[in-house]
Structure 1
């Protein structure tokens, strides 16, 4: 297990991108909108990588590996975490943990869920 808290890194990234967009004169809601669009782009790149690993495009053949797909999925997850943190800078990790517990509770049998806590 790693010692560093991923949410700390995410908070730093969110702060950096928020400051950058503020310097460009973008209002918070506009920043959030563009960040959600960025998230959509990252998910699209993961989908594109799956098409590449499955050799769907006959012109390109097998253009990706499953490891590249996994990296694209991580990019989408990171972007999602940064997006949430930009929208909820004070409680993103707690909000994430709450929603995760609610969603997991719909699919996992009682007793199989672990208590989720944020740092």
Structure 2
């Protein structure tokens, strides 16, 4: 993680707190909170720049994902059946998350506790990687697609 100057972290915290206190709860959005925090940074002399795709995954992550896609393409091709299998792989990985979670609870009296929370986290990471491979197998710009989707999710109101 990139270290931030303590002053910048304080400015962000103050900007967000000010936004939280001065904006009615039903009108608060993540995008507006980000603007308020950025305004505090600018007021203190920090420079705020726009990045076209502030990636939820770094370029190095996407390099790994593209490498996995290339390897799968080389081994299996990329026809409709292969794409279908890559999508179905998500179901398999999700099942492993469920299995690990059940194992952390000891729900099966015959088996007892068989997994740790770290095992569950590892399985969740497998789901994320598998989803990224499937996404990169379907679209030309998976990073941009993910960024756009996350931005839309962040802008959704949090009210029923």
TM-score normalised to the size of structure 1? 0.80
Mapped partners of 2:120, 2:157: distance in 1: 25
Gaps in structure 1 of 5+ consecutive residues: 110-119
Render the CA deviation track for 1:72-112: whole Å, top value 9, x for unaligned. 00011000001100111x21111111111112222569xxx
- What residue is the counterpart of 2:68 in the other structure? 13
RMSD of equivalent CA atoms: 1.9
Q: Tell which structure's C-alpha radius of gyration is larger.
A: 2
Q: Are 1:58 and 2:109 matched, yes or no? A: yes
Which of 109, 113, 135 matches 1:84?
135
Paired with 2:119 and 2:153, the residues of 1 have a C-alpha distance of 28
Asked if residue 70 in structure 1 is aligned to residue 125 in structure 2, the reply is no
Partner Cα separation in structure 1 for residue 144 and residue 79 of structure 2: 21
Deviation per CA, 1:6-63: give whole Å up to 9, x if none.
Answer: 01110110111122112xxxx5211111001111100110111000001111110000
Rounded Cα–Cα distance in structure 2 between residues aligned with 1:100 and 1:11: 20
* Offset of residue 64 of structure 1: 0.2
SS at structure 2 position matched to 1:98:
helix
